[in-house]
Structure 1
Amino acid sequence: MIKRFLKERLSWILLFVCLQLLLLFIAYLDPAISLSSAVYVVFLSALIFFIFLTVRYHKETFFYQHLDEWEADLDASEIPEAATPFEKIVEERLAAQIRKLTHLAGENRLALEQERDDLLSWIHEVKTPLTALHLMIERIEDENIKSRLTYEWLRIHLLLDQQLHQKRMLFIENDLHAEKIALEPMISHEIKLLRSWCMQKGIGFGVDLQVEEVLSDHKWLAFIMRQLLTNAVKYSGNSEILVKSYMKHGHTVVEVHDFGIGIDPKDLPRIFDKGFTSAVRPDQAATGMGLYLAKKAAEWLMIQLHVTSVPGEGSTFTLIFPKKNEFVNLTSM
């Protein structure tokens, strides 16, 4: 800030220096003026000017120092009240911009909430005929046609569910509820949802839960597990998917391990990026949103989500849950 102040007042400093040099030059040319007296006057003037600069530095930079440290959000309470006319101009224009942006942000949030509510309402309306369609498919006697229709129905169901949670993600901080969750019923429900797809691909499940309960949000944890299981089934075939839980260093760990095609090492750093789809994928219609949303939801739940993979041997997705007190503190904020 000192360098900025000196740069801002450089023209004044140069003017003062030039005036002092002019005084010395006149004293040098005019014998009637004592050169020693002129030097003494210049010394006193320089001393007074230095004190003046020091005082003005602290007075003039106080406002701008806080402005420079401001985080540029819509809360300007940390900025002190303006003390000079120029500072008041800055303060007034800043306040006007904050009022404008606050109003605009409020309008955008209301529009976003309305859009979310409209979409959620539409999704729920679509689920009604989708449920009826599933009941009709169950009555089909031809197992081949029934299996193919069930698979397509499942794809639509999962895409709608993904879209539903993507919109809810924008307001997830208001949607978290800490509760004890029994892992076995939740995982069984998600596996049952994928049953027809697994039967079509010859996939089985092995579940080994050394830890039977976790403290988290049921709705969002089920969504994360759904994305991991769906991803495992998508890239596997004629094999088994293992789901297990255990304790490690005071944290509950849940793993989903498949023996599918695995993930290319160059794709691992991007696996959770928005819209990323592997170049080697059986489903050309993949949106690349499932793992991205799972990662985002896991971050809100304070769950660490990691993946390891060996091409041709399968992948392991690991969920490391926070300690109980950590998640309770998050949901109570």
Structure 2
Amino acid sequence: MKPTIAPFPAARPRRARQSPAIRGLVRENTLTADDLIWPVFVREGTNQEEPVPSMPGVMRRSVDLTVKAAKEAWDLGVPAICIFPYTDPSLKTEDCAEAWNPDNISNRAIRAIKDAVPEMAVMTDVALDPYNINGHDGYVENGEIVNDRTVEALVKMTLAQAEAGADIIGPSDMMDGRIGAMRSALEAEGHQNVMILSYAAKYASACYGPFRDAVGASGALTGDKKTYQMDPANSDEAMRLIERDLNEGADMVMIKPGLPYLDMCRRAKETFGVPTFAYQVSGEYAMIQAAALNGWIDGEKIMLESLLCFKRAGCDGILTYFAPEVAKRLNG
């Protein structure tokens, strides 16, 4: 679209900015609670809640308190929640078998939330890192993160989550071929309506540190994840990966991290026209919170502005730890 504008003074663009009412009438993008998915961290125990030190305001909660928090978020208008487990270190193994245990902490949380708030969409995480003694998203053999054996494990994990009642599967592992394998297994086992929101372009970013603290994976991680997560320098590669995942059966795609990769959000939406999401990751959240707590920025304004930027870039929705707070502000 080529903009048409008369010469000054016939055209005075400031006319459209002169009052809140006028600005609202011409606003191109709007942020609502419907755009939000809330990532939460679940731990063992009953009536247990503990803060994540590197993520001010974020808690690890036992299943009962996670259900309570989900109800509160739903009442605020947040339509979806995403579950991440804080796994007991004693359950982390080389074979990662706890990942597909029907009664692991994630699957118990799925069932409890769907029982208490059946209308709320429950999203899960599919990757081995919370269960892997090596801290990696896949199996480690002779120092290599192997692909095909990992995909077999991820399929078992996917089916266990679908059986527990998950609405949306979120593969964050970045293994090759996992979307096709998951989709085939879901179809074969009668889970045709379970959606896949693929982390199709997940970059090997330095922004994930607080998240790894939150799920207890930091101390376990050996090496880095650069052989399977994307090089931050690459853009065309992301388009190839998104197209591959869509061809294999993904319903929606994710860009991760968020704000440093808004160009990828825009490019993905314009190229494929499919539901496109971004994850405002732990490092982004922590930076905003730290600056706000120091009085360097207005935390509330930055929170809302940052999320609106995702919508302007073409995102249909955002995973953000701010979700309940944002919904509360948007509701007045």
Q: TM-score, normalised by structure 1?
A: 0.22
Q: Which has the larger radius of gyration?
A: 1
Q: Per residue, is there more helix in 1 or in 2? A: 1
Structure number with the bigger relative contact order (C-alpha 8 A, sep ≥ 6) is 2
Q: TM-score, normalised by structure 2?
A: 0.22
